[in-house]
């Protein structure tokens, strides 16, 4: 976008003025605008610096308000790290970055414990038992088909493969 374009986002970042186009009738682009109604559920965050970063970290699922606290802490650490330009600033910011990362770790662990206690998470044994139950239901539903065994084996393999992929995504 042309540096002198009248519809250029007016947000100035560490790297200079934003190069995106401003929203129609606004001074800022979508990345730098926080509109009413989009604020996080437990915070009224409308600041141009923090609002969008916190929302991006919040994710879809919410366990009480801990997810918002995790998102806010991650956004704070992100902004701190993104503001660093020199080695000296990095060295000076290390204690704050470390404290933020420790706070995130504590919040994530607490959230995970709550999810386990509330039954939101299934352990591997429960997940495999559920898979076996699904396979049994399918097996019963297709019991009169001539190729029942092949169908059930294929479905079982697909279900177990899907479970394995989810475990790999979550790092379990």
Contact (Cβ atoms closer than 8 angstroms) between residue 54 and residue 43: yes
pLDDT of residue 96: 93
What is the reported pLDDT for 39? Answer: 45
Where on the phi/psi map is residue 37: left (φ > 0), alpha (ψ -120 to 50), or beta?
left
Ramachandran assignment for 64, one of left (phi > 0), alpha (psi -120 to 50 degrees), beta (any other): left
Averaged pLDDT of the chain: 76
* Residue 158: Cβ within 10 Å count: 10
pTM of the predicted protein model: 0.41
What is each CA distance from 78 to 11, 54, 96, in whole angstroms? 18, 9, 12
What is the percent of the chain with per-residue pLDDT over 70, rounded to a whole number? 73
Please provide the DSSP assignment of 27-66 as one string. Answer: SS-GGG---TT-S-TT-----TTTHHHHHHHH-S---TTH
The pLDDT of residue 164 is: 78
Mean pLDDT for 113-130 is 73
What integer pLDDT is reported at residue 40 of this predicted model?
47
Quote the CA–CA distance of 160 and 170 in Å, as a whole number. Answer: 16
Q: Please determine, for residue 170, whether its predicted confidence score (pLDDT) is greater than 60.
A: no
Is the Cβ–Cβ distance between 1 and 8 less than 8 Å?
yes
Residue 95 has pLDDT above 90, yes or no: yes
Choice between 72 and 87, residue whose per-residue pLDDT is larger: 87
Give the pLDDT of residue 116: 72
Q: What is the pLDDT of residue 36?
A: 42
Model confidence at 92: pLDDT above 80:
yes
Q: Indicate the range of 25-39, 76-90, 124-138 predicted with least confidence.
A: 25-39
Percent of the chain with pLDDT over 90: 9
Residue 171 pLDDT more than 50? Answer: no
Total Cβ atoms within 10 A of residue 22: 21
> Between 18 and 102, whose confidence is greater?
102
Q: What share of the chain is helix, strand, coil (3-state, %, to 5)?
A: 60, 5, 40
Q: Residue 53's pLDDT is what?
A: 60
User: In the prediction, which pLDDT does 68 show?
Assistant: 76
User: What b/e sequence results for 26-37 when a residue is b if at least 16 CB atoms lie within 10 Å of its CB, and e otherwise?
Assistant: eebbeebbbeee
């Amino acid at each position: 976008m042309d540096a002198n374009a009248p519809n250029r986002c007016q947000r100035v970042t560490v790297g200079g003025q934003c190069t995106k186009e401003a929203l129609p009738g606004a001074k800022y682009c979508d990345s730098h605008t926080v509109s009413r109604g989009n604020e996080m559920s437990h915070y009224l965050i409308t600041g141009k610096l923090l609002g969008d970063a916190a929302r991006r970290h919040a994710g879809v699922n919410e366990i009480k308000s801990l997810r918002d606290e995790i998102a806010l802490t991650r956004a704070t650490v992100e902004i701190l790290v993104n503001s660093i330009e020199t080695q000296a600033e990095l060295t000076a910011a290390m204690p704050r970055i470390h404290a933020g990362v420790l706070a995130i770790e504590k919040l994530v662990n607490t959230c995970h414990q709550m999810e386990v206690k509330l039954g939101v998470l299934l352990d591997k044994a429960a997940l495999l038992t559920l898979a076996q139950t699904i396979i049994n239901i399918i097996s019963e539903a297709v019991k009169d088909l001539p190729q029942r065994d092949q169908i059930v084996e294929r479905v079982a393999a697909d279900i177990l493969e899907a479970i394995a992929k989810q475990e790999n995504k979550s790092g379990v």
